[in-house]
Structure 1
Amino acid sequence: MKLTGRVAEVLLVSGVLAALAVPPAQAAHAPAPARGRDVPLRVASYNIHAGAGMDNVFDLDRQEKALRALHADVIGLEEVDVHWAARSEWRDVAGELAKRLGMQVFFAPIYSVDGREFGVAVLSKYHILKATNHKITRLSTQDPNPAPAPAPGFGEVELRVKGVPLHVYVTHLDYRADPSVRVSQVAETRRIMGRDRGRKILLGDFNATPDAPELAPLWRELTDVEPGKPTFPALNPVQRIDYVAVSRGVAVRGADVPDTLASDHRPIVADVSLRR
């Protein structure tokens, strides 16, 4: 709509008067709008050993208690059974833990065999807007003569945390002493995560220590959240192979490794802030 000169003049004067009506002290001390504040978030990564503790006894009550004690908003889980075997009583471990904790869940299977599944999962207190199970190179444990090949099990969820968009990834890298498969997995992880230029968090069991050469490329784009404690094995841990890593736009406020024997790993938990 085009304003006539007279109408525009009236609106301009009205606007100036309205601005002058605000007392200077009140204007100076008015709180910053909510959209300008960083958003706190607590995230964790936990290899749950298919529901079994350091004693190799399946106990979902014990793992629920350990997870609840983290007070985390988002949790990446590795070694998750969904109707996989007798070792976890053929139960949907991912679904049951999510229900008990009142969280949403996305399960990304690595293996799917006749209705039996094993993989990684994300639990979230925030609504999962979108979820993807990406493929990366794997050396199958289900094949007697495996060869490196693309396989699923690199999970990604898109969240909106108090209005701030966030991509969370969960992974479980190859465990073998030969790092060649992990080298490929790291390259593919960077390629997949590179598609998103927003705020990103990577959770997982990398099966390598932070100074491992095959992990070095990750630290070009991501910051390794250092808790100052080892995570494996859960009893008298000697090395850290479990990770929370964050991109630009995510500030680290602190991290810890809680002492628990609910799995053969200890969890890593981090407090971060999402910058708007």
Structure 2
Amino acid sequence: MAVPQRLKLLSANIQAGSSTRRYSDYATRSWSHLLPVGNKRGMLDTIARLAGRHDIVGLQEADPGSWRSGFTNQTHYLAERGGFDYWTHQPNRRVGQFASSANGLLSKFEPLDIEVHPLPGRINGRGVLIARFGEGEDGLTIAVAHLSLGAQSRAAQLSFIAELLADSPHAVLMGDFNCTVDRPEMATLFRQTRLQPPASLVHTFPSWKPQKAIDHILVSDALGCRDMQAFPAAFSDHLALSVELDVPAAALKR
């Protein structure tokens, strides 16, 4: 039997490289989320240093190249600065003519296949990005999602994701869920897939005084999981979440 390979994962809502250090910043610095101002490149460089210590990174709220980011595809930028050979992104939401938002994936291993799916919801603009590594029973599926604020929309989104991951024995779902794992809408996901609630909760929001565990890395029961920690993603309003996994060696190819 092949020895499992250790893998380090990171999930980070990077808030498009903007800075939020207190609740009042949502009002007083709202312009920074729409305009190409502030030290966004410096923020991205800080995030790249954190990301580079990991093997696979899932991003939420990465700007795909709109005016507010100086037309920088932030997922591509982080891939280059963090030392990742493979990257992909899923643009989801456009805010007027000024800003866009995307899910992103950075990987030091070559994915076999990439899928992107829009998620259902009352308001369009949410999605799930799925990368598959390896084939057959030893294959690894990594999904990155950013769920809605409303419980009804989240329920529909989690049901949709559950269908996509139902047949994956080695699966990971990570992202900004905008809810805790004990919410009723999460039950469908755990019932229809092999994903498990985390053994311990790590508070990630708000980043300056974490009180809520709403960012998650959910792992199927066939994968070993340890050392879940939260780290600052520059000055995003979410902390980034890191975990170590034992995955089938056949699933990963550099």
Bin of the TM-score, shorter chain as denominator length:
0.7 to 0.9
Matched-pair contact (CA < 8 Å) for 2:79–2:87 = yes
Aligned to 1:51: 17
1:56-135 alignment, distance < 5 Å: 57-70=38-51, 71-86=53-68, 88-103=69-84, 104-111=86-93, 117-135=100-118
Q: 1: distance between equivalents of 2:39 and 2:205?
A: 19
- Structure 2 partner of 1:185: 157
Describe how 1:153-168 pairs up with structure 2 within 5 A: 153-160=127-134, 164-168=138-142
Partner residue, 1:11: none
| Alignment match, 1:240 | 213
Offset at residue 254 of structure 1 (A): 1.9
| AA partner of residue 165 (structure 2) | M
- Structure 1 114/133 Cα, relative in aligned 2: closer, same or farther at 3 Å? farther
SS in 1 for 2:11: strand
| Cα distance in 1 for residues equivalent to 2:226 and 2:129 | 25
Q: Does 1:36 align with 2:2?
A: yes
Contact 2:6 2:247 survives alignment (8 Å): yes
Specify every segment of 5 or more residues in structure 1 that has no aligned partner in the other structure, as ranges: 1-34, 141-148
User: One-letter code of the match for 2:147?
Assistant: L
**CA separation in 1, counterparts of 2:238 and 2:209?**
10
CA distances 1:217-255 after superposition (whole Å, capped 9, x unpaired) = 222331133554310011011101101001132111221
Q: Which has the larger radius of gyration?
A: 1
**1:256 alignment partner in structure 2:** 229
Partner of 1:214: 185
CA shift digits 1:139-161 (9 cap, x unpaired): 33xxxxxxxx6x66210111249
CA displacement 1:104-134 (0-9 Å, x = unmatched): 1110121368897422011111112211111
RMSD, aligned α-carbons = 2.6
Q: Calculate the TM-score normalised by the size of structure 2.
A: 0.80
The answer as to 2:146 corresponding to 1:172 is yes
In structure 2, stretches of 5+ residues that fail to align are 22-31, 33-37, 250-254
Cα deviation digits, residues 184-227 of structure 1 (max 9, x gap): 01110101112x43311111100001211111222233113355
Cα deviation 1:19-50 (Å, max 9, x = unaligned): xxxxxxxxxxxxxxxx5211111111100001
